[in-house]
Amino acid sequence: VNTFLQVLFSSPFKAFRNFKFIMQVGIGIIGCGLIGETHAECLDQLGNPPILFFDQDDKRSSQLAKKYAGTSAKTLNEVLDSLEVHAVYICTHHETHAPIAISAARHKKHLFLEKPMALTEKECFDIVQAVQQAGVMCMSGFKLRYYPLVAKMKTLVQQPLILNGQILDSRWPDDSWANDPVKGGGNVLSQGCHAIDLLCWLANSKPVRVYGEARNLRHPSLDIVDSLAATISFESGAVASLTIADTGEFPLISKFSFEAADNQTTLHLHNRLKSLYINSAGNITHEHTEEEQGFLEENREFLTALRDKRQPLSNELDGLHATMILLRAIEASRSGIAQSLEDLP
Ligand SMILES: NC(=O)c1ccc[n+]([C@@H]2O[C@H](COP(=O)([O-])OP(=O)(O)OC[C@H]3O[C@@H](n4cnc5c(N)ncnc54)[C@H](O)[C@@H]3O)[C@@H](O)[C@H]2O)c1
């Protein structure tokens, strides 16, 4: 046994182990609930399981650490100070995104930041500033971009004139953390950024103005916005309409529905983004995929971008835009005045 250990730790083998270490990205998961575990599972499937786990609920981090043969950290700083951790996933409740992301960036950790970026414009700008000052990469968790039929949609209509987006979910429980005005902010801020990000990405143009009508239709006891109908204008002249609420799923199209049209082609993506109808100059075809692979593919993109030292498909500015457009749509409803987006970086 001694001889074996001597050989293993001899210089040539050490170099080999270090080489392997460079190929692996050391990842820490912060927030080991539903989505922390989802990302850990994807990273494991991609051959790069996380190595360090932290949750304010010690039981949760210990459970995930055990499942993925990693280590459970006792404090956030244990993750941020670890030299083996190159990147952290921030999968906590929304009011903690800004302080954790800013601290992680200052510790020179690359970030995978779940949506929404934060709950206020100031927090979003502070995150972007911390990320850019530290020179780290920050990927925003917009998994819808990674569905194959979304990519197909973007290829078929590259410069849409008109877009529709809808995320209508079944009613979120009053006592869920996401409906807590401080921790979550309600479904519009939480899942609405997926819709805004997708519309902006498909529009392929800078958003310039937003108007919205925001309501609380289903949760009168909570100080949140739970429903929003909005319009976004783009520099290209395109216009998008958007509906987000937890009033219930529509039977034919499911929770997600997105449409895009130019002069020749109209597209409708629905059935959880697994069915795409294409009307190309009157010729209607249909494409279907079996599985939803958004989470897996966004994790692949994060690892690849880190290894290639490049920007990911959705970065900190995409995270900033999605949350700011939502906040300004809500402000437009309050003031009755359409809000400019010309100042978005
Ligand atoms: N991309 C998607 O499709 C998608 C879907 C659902 C949720 N999310 C996002 O993922 C994030 C987490 O949501 P979830 O559903 O996993 O919630 P969750 O409640 O299941 O898990 C969150 C975890 O964070 C922990 N936590 C809270 N504050 C903390 C802190 N300061 N330090 C350490 N741990 C802390 C909690 O104890 C909990 O275990 C949110 O931003 C949410 O919007 C994304």
- What pLDDT is recorded for position 173? 97
Rounded to whole angstroms, the Cα distance separating 299 from 295 reads: 6
- How far is the centre of ligand 1, averaged over its atoms, from the C-alpha of 263 (Å)? 42
Region of residue 339 (left: phi > 0; alpha: psi -120 to 50; beta: else) = beta
Helices 148-156/187-203 angle, 10° precision? 40
Please work out whether the CB of residue 94 comes within 6 Å of at least one atom of ligand 1: yes
Please work out whether the CB of residue 31 comes within 6 Å of at least one atom of ligand 1: yes
Rounded to whole angstroms, the Cα distance separating 322 from 144 reads: 13
Rounded to whole angstroms, the Cα distance separating 136 from 83 reads: 15
Rounded to whole angstroms, the Cα distance separating 14 from 184 reads: 46
Please work out whether the CB of residue 93 comes within 6 Å of at least one atom of ligand 1: yes
**Cis amide prior to 345 (ω within 30 degrees):** no
- What pLDDT is recorded for position 341? 98
Sheet with 138-140: list strands edge to edge.
Answer: 71-72, 52-54, 27-30, 87-90, 110-113, 138-140
Whether the CB-CB separation of 321 and 116 falls below 8 Å is answered with no
> What are the phi and psi torsion angles at 223 (to 5°)?
-90, 70
Please work out whether the CB of residue 91 comes within 6 Å of at least one atom of ligand 1: yes
Please work out whether the CB of residue 33 comes within 6 Å of at least one atom of ligand 1: yes
| Chain centre distance of CA 162 | 24
pTM for this predicted structure: 0.93
Range list of β-strands (E), 188-255:
207-215, 227-234, 239-245
Which residues are paired to 231 by β-bridges?
Answer: 211, 241
- What pLDDT is recorded for position 54? 98
SS3 222: coil
Complete DSSP assignment for 250-279: BTTTBSEEEEEE-SSEEEEEETTTTEEEEE
Residue range 51-61, pLDDT digits in tens: 999 999 999 99
- What pLDDT is recorded for position 19? 40
- Pocket mutation for ligand 1, best pick of 92, 111, 175, 256 (most atoms within 8 Å of C-beta): 92
Q: What is the amino acid identity at position 319? A: G
Please work out whether the CB of residue 35 comes within 6 Å of at least one atom of ligand 1: yes
Rounded to whole angstroms, the Cα distance separating 100 from 109 reads: 11
Residue range 136-186, pLDDT digits in tens: 999 999 999 999 999 999 999 999 999 999 999 999 999 999 999 999 999
SS3 145: helix
Q: Atom of ligand 1 at shortest distance to CA of 141? A: 1
Question: What is the DSSP-derived secondary structure letter of residue 171?
Answer: P
Terminus-to-terminus CA distance in the chain, angstroms? Answer: 60
Whether the CB-CB separation of 30 and 40 falls below 8 Å is answered with no
- What pLDDT is recorded for position 293? 86
Token pair listed for 313: 């498909």
- What pLDDT is recorded for position 77? 98
- How far is the centre of ligand 1, averaged over its atoms, from the C-alpha of 325 (Å)? 22
Please give the average pLDDT of every successive group of 10 residues along the chain, which has 345 residues: 44 40 84 98 97 98 98 98 98 98 98 98 98 98 96 97 97 97 97 97 98 97 98 98 95 94 97 96 96 93 96 97 98 98 96
Q: What is the amino acid identity at position 68? A: Y
Nearest CA to ligand 1 atom 25: 31
Region of residue 271 (left: phi > 0; alpha: psi -120 to 50; beta: else) = left
- What pLDDT is recorded for position 1? 40
Whether the CB-CB separation of 97 and 72 falls below 8 Å is answered with no
Other C-beta atoms closer than 10 Å to the C-beta of 20 total 9
Please work out whether the CB of residue 196 comes within 6 Å of at least one atom of ligand 1: no
Q: Atom of ligand 1 at shortest distance to CA of 177? A: 19
Q: Which among 232, 261, 192 has a CA at the least distance from the CA of 344?
A: 232
Rounded to whole angstroms, the Cα distance separating 330 from 322 reads: 13
- What pLDDT is recorded for position 189? 97
- What pLDDT is recorded for position 268? 98
Whether the CB-CB separation of 130 and 319 falls below 8 Å is answered with no
Which residues are paired to 304 by β-bridges?
Answer: none
